[in-house]
Amino acid sequence: EQTAGKGRMGRGWYSPKGTGVTCSLILRPAIEPGQASPVTMLTAVAVASAVERVAGVSPGIKWPNDLLLDGKKICGILTEMNAEMERIHFLVVGVGINVNTDYFPEDIKDIATSLYLAGGRRVSRLDLLRRYLMEFEHYYQQWMDYGFGPVLEEWKKRCVTLNRPVRISTPRETWEGWAVDVDNTGALVLRTDDGELKNFVAGEVSLRTI
Ligand code: ATP
């Protein structure tokens, strides 16, 4: 249970007792702050792989950090960073997975689901956590050894955001266009109606498919 679970940009995360997996990992990669966004994406791949193996359902990934089943969110990921300009002190990557949740409050019931509600059977949270940690270690090591390329391939296979019209909101403005690619820094590439390509870095924006 979390009594004050949090999501991105000060949003809340509903984590009732005995139903989900909420887990944070502290990481100390020897990289610059600007190179950190792959960690959120590799976490999405690790959770998706673990869910596939343990629950037998295949979540889609919505750029940059949500996992969906039946178009609704089963997992959110929050990456926070403590850094100097040149050096990361540490990253904290938190996941909240709705596992056996059978009730969601009114304000999120249309956008949230659980492995139980979507898959029809209860799932062992311990098995899922164990598998997630194994998958995380595998993909993290792959990132450290070979760069982001192999993880990005896995991420793209599961992505449900690409090749679709989307709306992107930054704190100041809103853009609409076609989601054409995710580049090797993790940025979403949008083609606007007048043909211009614009890159959006995760962490600053909200995305909706149109
Ligand atoms: P989005 O892009 O979907 O607006 P986000 O990625 O910016 O969300 P997150 O940190 O992933 O934000 O999730 C926070 C949001 O998710 C909350 O504002 C709420 O709408 C929704 N939410 C809160 N708790 C849950 C939950 N247990 N399961 C699914 N969705 C939740």
pLDDT bucket at 204, cuts 50 / 70 / 90: low
- Does the beta carbon of 65 lie inside 6 Å of ligand 1? yes
* 16 ligand 1 Cβ < 6 A: no
Report pLDDT for 201. 87
Tracing tokens 């994406």 back to the chain, one arrives at 41
Q: Of all protein residues, whose CA lies closest to atom 1 belonging to ligand 1?
A: 206
Q: Are residues 60 and 157 in contact, defined by beta-carbon separation less than 8 angstroms?
A: no
**Cα gap 157→176, rounded to integer Å:** 23
CA distances from 118 to 19, 74, 85, 137, 187 (A): 14, 9, 43, 27, 30
Q: How far is the centre of ligand 1, averaged over its atoms, from the C-alpha of 94 (Å)?
A: 13
Mean pLDDT value across residues 175-180: 95
10 Å CB burial of residue 98 (0-12, 13-18, 19+) is buried
pLDDT digits (tens, 9 = 90+) for 2-11: 999 999 888 9
pLDDT tens digit string along 82-119? 999 889 999 999 999 999 999 999 999 999 999 999 99
- Rounded to the nearest whole angstrom, what is the distance from the C-alpha of residue 74 to the centroid of ligand 1? 9
- pTM for the whole structure: 0.94
